[in-house]
Structure 1
Amino acid sequence: MFIEFIILLGLAAFIFYKWSTAGFDYFKKIGLPYDKPYPLFGSQKDIVFKKSSFTDNINRCYKQFNTSIAGVFDQRIPTFIIRDPALLKQITIKDFDHFVNHRTIFTDKDGGLFGNALSNMQNEKWKSMRSTLSPVFTGSKMRQMFVLINEVADESMKFLKKDGQTEIDFNIKDYFTRFTNDVIASAVFGLKVNSFANEDNEFYAMGKKVTKFSAWQNLKFMMFTNFKYIMRAFKIKLFDEKDTNYFTSLVMDAMKYRQEHKIMRPDMINMMMEAKGMSIDKKPDEKPVVAKEWSDDEIVAQFFVFFFAGFEPTSVLMAFASHELMVNPDVQEKLRQEIQEVKENLDGKPLTYEILQGMKYMDMVISETLRRWPPAVVTDRQCNKDFHYKDDEIDVTIKAGQHLWIPIVGYHLDEKYFPDPLKFDPERFSDENKGNIEPFTYLPFGVGPRNCIANRFALMEAKAMMFYLVGEFEIKPSPKSTIPMVLQKGGFNLAPENGFWAKLVPVKS
């Protein structure tokens, strides 16, 4: 019996190995250079075994080749990695019709709210939802929402100045997540939340829960990638139903309440009400005119993904900007001088969206932070009709259904495009120098029609926070600060090994 068990175990291990390595010879067959894969984990072994950060691993995949296109493995799946700006332009702009969609791991059946998100929608459905959401992020809407951001910024400054503190030594990332949480609550969900005064409010607690993946969620994510139909058969969702129901109730109850009480507010709730034909100023017998009738799940999913994307990546941007200002005091002082000049010109009046947009050095600092530490280190596309590419070294066809990576961090840290790439140098983005940046090498919000729809909002939010923080405080190293920066190994979060610690000292008048 024992021998039979060993034989069966060995046979199962052999079958699993063959399954987990199926396709690993694909790039060899088509004559394309490729990253040597590891069974089941492909090119991501070092992330899984916590030997590398996600950022460093993507950069490793990018740097080991010198061809315009090469091969990597997204776990078991052969994936093309695009290393040439001209080819990237062709794929994302000129021949966009060949690469309309992202790779879809989740559908509305698998991922719940994630499956219905804009980033997971495909073809005409994506185009329609993108058109529905685009008006939310126009310049005029940014001006209106900036008033809400100013209110949250004021509350955040009161928190830092409470009890007459002379200096604060703390994990500054926690402070930024509370700020982004309250901004999202106000500008997206229409809620008044003060996570500085009420540290354990439900909205903030839910934000931390859904954006910080547990080991179980990471396992489920991998299972969805490799065993989608099994996960679907057992009706396993990526997020707990209790969490998704919270967001569903939040959105749908707010829409209903506003319609009944004829409340209008310049936020995403109002825009999506109009998209759903729930405009509060239409006549009772007037039939709503909508481009497409969106389901409740599809409507709520957009709120969920904006919450998910706005809560963590924007706070990461602010945290890395603060870190770079901390270790580059000359840059910090130059930015503070610009802020002081703006304050003097305001003469006690509130900061406006237009004035913030006109701050050139602020823009240079945030742009360089996004280059050095892009929150999204890689993005992807799925081929929907065969695409042939040929140059002096490569002759390859990307077939319909296959996937490719756009290694954002690889371009950003390539000395061919950004000399001395590890140096934090805002002057790269000065009026005199930014014209020298090769097109399609600076990609902090993606590229082409499927770039980040909320990039204006994220930039406005980050710049506003830096305006108030640097204007009021000096950012200095804490004994716990990670200097030099060493990224956390394993997982997909962009963070230092020991967290974003800093000391804030009030600026002397």
Structure 2
Amino acid sequence: MTRNFNYWSQKGVKGPSPSPMFGNILSYFITPRPHLNMQWQKLYGKIYGVYNGNKPVLMVAEPELIKQICVKDFHIFSDRNTNRRIHPILSKHLVVETGDDWKRIRSIVTPTFSSSKMKKMYPMIRQCLDDFIVELDVYAKDKGDVNVKIMYGNYTMDVISRCAFATKTNSHKDPNDPFIINAQKVFAPKVSRALCFMLLPTFVLKAFNMRGIAEESANEFFFNITRHVMKTRSNSQKKYNDFIELLMNAQKSSTNNNTKDVNHYDENDSSEAHHVNEGEEEKQVENKILSSVDKYITEEEILAQSWVFFVAGYETTATTLTFASYELALNQDSQQRLYEEEEKQAENKILSSVDKYITEEEILAQSWVFFVAGYETTATTLTFASYELALNQDSQQRLYEEVMTAVDSKGEIDYDILARLPYLDAVISETLRLHSPAIILIRQASEDYKLGDTGITLKKGQQLEIPIYAVHHNEEFYEKPNDFIPNRFLPENRHNIKPYSYIPFGAGPRNCIGMRFALMEAKLALAQVIKRYRFFRSPNTDVPLLLNKSTILHSPKRINYPFGAGPRNCIGMRFGLMEAKLALAQVIRRYRFFQTPNTDVPLQLNVSLAIRTPKRVIIGIEKRL
């Protein structure tokens, strides 16, 4: 029960004292993990040791070492934890896949999130946003309190179900939809089940047929949807331009012997703050790793990618939008500047008009991971953004003014213009820094490794973690790290950001593949909301926010998460950013957020091991004239 508990002390590495059997895991269920990581960083420094059960884990929060681990020595740290690959399908998605199989699937899925593919998904996201705006109007009429965490969660659920599973939902009107019910089972597993999966050895889990934290019936629900869609489309000539179709096209392409490589770097990347870490060195590392792999994908791998796309894309984008709205409500100058930027851009509107095989199993896996990665994270980001805008009226006004400059005569915002709005990008980026949904990055050494000049040697198979939230809140890297200051991410100020001190999407070859999608989704939502409504602090706004206690996600309980680093960063980064930016831009031009007596300042967070979410985010919202 206490085996290995002297491991770090013998090596001269400081860290918190472990408890028998559990190590330091129980602490994560008592104190929100982001806050715990910050406390430990202040006590023990940027490098310290913890115990996940009996397993010693090194925590690394030094940007230079983060770059070394995630980029320069990626060949040693290309894998995450490989000890829990039990499920026959979910062990094949990008988040947990390893070695050559990860390289092959990554090279296939990456072009799915290119700029051209994002533009094709843009109209689908816009349709989901229309349903969201209709629901938001109900609250804005009376300038009433609204828990934007729930609202943004419904929006991102509709987006991910449409883009990942070709399923049209209206989460606002029908919360008992089987799709939504099964999604809730995935995102709210029993604590006892989670603890068993974290502490018990693999052979015990297999003996009790525990193949994952979520109930298997929920997993099978999404697998069956994906299989049905694939079967229906196999003989259809209709084009859908969603995630499953793109993976099926990759599956078919093997018969055409197509060896053309696709450059996945987006022309808009340089105008967005996530580009701050991406130099030629990082691009060369990723190209070298992914250029010489066999490109085929199995049915199970497709299922797994669909699953993780859903899960990863839901909570992160919703949380980003929530926090952004919160900050705009509290920073009215920032909200006004964003609004003005949207208005100004309308005058300069820009008109826009591989040998890859993937099996059905792999499509199932990727569809699932798209769901997992894209749901809670985006919703949480939008939640935090709204919260900050409600508390920062100046920021909200600036955002509103920028958004209004970008709107065309029909009230729409072009895809390329959305990506190039500097203040909107700064609001989303500052939200992702201040309230990064992802709490940690995990890497595993494939060989013995000397960690810089620290004197520490990681043994082969040993795990290290990078505490994203603690890095983002370090006073050494950010002045007033706990304040919402979007200006730090404006193009003229980005040079002041230390490389690899901003890693919401990860870095290097294993970064967030859905980044563009997440940004598009969040930006569109926030822009459409801010142009119609104003966020404000209400009597029910929690200040500070109440956060959920979670092992993987940083999210608020109510309001009345960047993406990793290196080649293994978040592959869905662009999708998530597109989703969040689109939402924020549309919201800010319609509404104004404001702080009310019920706004939690500071926010109360959920307890989580890996993703930061608020318990609730209550702010005021009123329709703009």
Provide TM-score, normalisation by structure 2: 0.72
Tell me by how many angstroms 1:319 deviates.
0.3
Task: Name the amino acid aligned to 1:323.
Answer: Y
Q: Is the 8 A contact 2:140 2:621 kept in 1?
A: no
1:236 offset after TM fit, Å?
2.0
1:80 maps onto 2:70 in alignment = no
Deviations 1:401-447 (A, max 9, x none): 00101111111000000011001100111122111100010000112
Q: 1:203 is matched with which residue: 164, 176, 179?
A: 179
Superposition map of 1:467-482 within 5 A: 467-482=527-542
Go from structure 1 to structure 2 and tell me whether the alpha carbon gap of 1:288 and 1:73 turns closer, same or farther (over 3 Å shift): same
Residue pairs, 1:390-429, within 5 angstroms: 390-391=452-453, 394-429=454-489
- Structure 2 residue 494 is the aligned partner of structure 1 residue 434: yes
- The 1:433–1:125 alpha-carbon spacing in structure 2 relative to 1, beyond 3 Å, is same
Q: Counterparts of 1:154 and 1:390 in 2: how far apart (Å)?
A: 51
Give me the whole-angstrom Cα distance separating, in 2, the residues matched to 1:60 and 1:457: 33
How many Å apart are 1:477 and its aligned residue? Answer: 2.0
2-structure distance, mates of 1:505, 1:126: 47
Is 2:414 the counterpart of 1:339? Answer: no
**Post-superposition offset of 1:390:** 4.6
Are the aligned partners of 2:25 and 2:52 in contact in 1 as well (CA < 8 Å)?
Answer: yes
Structure 1: tracts of 5 or more residues without a match: 1-19
Partner of 2:39: 60
Deviating beyond 6 angstroms after TM superposition, the runs of 4 or more aligned structure 1 residues are 286-290
Deviation of 1:164 after TM superposition, in Å, equals 8.6
Residues 32-71 of structure 1 correspond to what in structure 2 (within 5 A)? 32-48=13-29, 50=30, 52-66=31-45, 69-71=47-49
- 2:616 aligned with 1:499, yes or no? yes
Alignment deviations for residues 472-507 of structure 1 (CA, whole Å, 9 cap, x no partner): 111122322211234334654422445122222111
Structure 1 pair 219–44 and aligned structure 2 pair: CA distance change class (3 A): closer
Q: 1:349 to 1:72 in 2, by over 3 A?
A: same
CA distance 1:211–1:490, change in 2 (3 Å): closer
Find the partner of 2:298 among 294, 305, 319. Answer: 294
1:47-81 per-position Cα deviation (integer Å, ceiling 9, x unaligned): 23x2x112111222333233x63322223211111
Check if 1:251 corresponds to 2:226.
yes
Q: Which has the larger radius of gyration?
A: 1
Counterpart residue number, 1:384: 446
Matches of residues 140-151 of structure 1 in structure 2 within 5 Å?
140-151=116-127
Is the contact made by 1:100 and 1:382 (CA closer than 8 Å) also made in structure 2?
yes
TM alignment of 1:442-481, pairs within 5 A: 442-481=502-541
- Contact kept? 1:378, 1:405, Cα under 8 Å: yes
Q: Secondary structure at the match of 2:92?
A: coil
Who is 1:169 aligned against?
A: 145
**RCO greater where, 1 or 2, for CA within 8 Å and sep 6 or more?**
1
Match of 2:7 in 1: 26
Instruction: Please give the alpha-carbon distance, in whole angstroms, between the structure 1 residues aligned to 2:411 and 2:137.
Output: 21
Aligned to 2:167: 191
**Greater Cα shift, 364-373 or 331-340:** 331-340
Residue aligning to 2:338: none
Query: Please, which moves more after superposition, 188-197 or 322-331?
Result: 188-197
**Alignment match, 1:356:** 418
**Structure 2 residue aligned with 1:6:** none
How many correspondences in the alignment? 473
Corresponding residue number in structure 1 for 2:111: 135
Kept after mapping to 2: 8 A contact 1:82/1:407: yes
Of the candidates 247, 265, 277, which is equivalent to residue 252 of structure 2?
Answer: 277
> Partner of 2:386 in structure 1?
322
Contact kept, 8 Å, 2:82 with 2:96, in 1: the verdict is: yes
Counterpart of 1:157, as a letter, is: I
- Which letter does structure 1 place at the counterpart of 2:51? F
Distance across 2 between alignment mates of 1:340 and 1:271: 34
Q: Output the CA distance in 1 between the equivalents of 2:185 and 2:452.
A: 47
Question: Kindly tell me: are residues 427 and 200 of structure 1, through their superposed partners in 2, closer, same or farther at Cα, counting changes over 3 Å?
Answer: same
SS of the residue 2:622 aligns to: strand
Amino acid at match of 2:242: D
| Contact 2:442–2:464 under 8 Å retained in 1 | yes
2:299–2:362 CA contact under 8 A, matched in 1: yes
Write the distance in 1 (CA, Å) between the matches of 2:376 and 2:550: 17
Cα distance in 2 for partners of 1:316, 1:105 equals 29
Q: State the superposition RMSD in angstroms.
A: 2.2
Q: What does residue range 88-127 of structure 1 map to in structure 2 within 5 Å?
A: 88-107=66-85, 110-127=86-103
Matched position secondary structure for 1:319: helix
SS state of the match for residue 21, structure 1?
coil
**Contact 2:248/2:363 (<8 A) preserved:** no
The C-alpha deviation readout for 1:103-126, integer Å capped at 9, x for no partner, is 12421xx23543222111001000
1:23 alignment partner, SS class: coil
Given candidates 203, 219, 241, the residue that maps to 1:229 is 203
Higher strand share: 2
CA contact (8 A) 2:533 2:623 kept: yes
Under a length normalisation based on structure 1, what TM-score does the superposition of the two structures give?
A: 0.88
| Shift in Å, 1:162 | 4.6
Is contact 2:438-2:553 (8 Å) kept?
Answer: no
The residue identity in structure 2 corresponding to 1:356 is: L
Q: CA deviation at 1:455?
A: 1.0
Distance 2:496 2:390 in 1: 28
Counterpart AA for 1:317? T
Whichever residue aligns with residue 455 of structure 1, its letter is M
User: Is the CA contact (8 Å cut-off) linking 1:41 and 1:76 kept in structure 2?
Assistant: yes
Q: Report the AA paired with residue 295 of structure 1.
A: E
Shift of 1:463: 0.7
The range that moved more, 427-436 or 365-374, is 427-436
User: Which residue in the other structure is 2:577 paired with?
Assistant: none
Partner letter of residue 218 of structure 1? Answer: A
For structure 2, the 5+ residue unaligned runs are 260-293, 301-360, 558-603, 605-614
Equivalent position to 2:130, from 140, 154, 164: 154
Please state how far the C-alpha of 1:469 moved relative to its aligned partner.
0.9
Query: 1:304 offset after TM fit, Å?
Result: 1.0
Q: Secondary structure, in 3 states, of the residue corresponding to 1:485?
A: strand
- One-letter code aligned to 2:117: K
| Greater alpha carbon shift after TM alignment, 398-407 vs 478-487 | 478-487
1:192 is displaced (CA, Å) by 2.1
Shift of 1:95: 1.1
Contact conserved, 2:447 with 2:460, CA < 8 A, in 1?
yes
> Aligned partners of 2:177, 2:209: CA distance in 1, in Å?
31
| Cα distance in 1 between the residues matched to 2:228 and 2:79 | 32
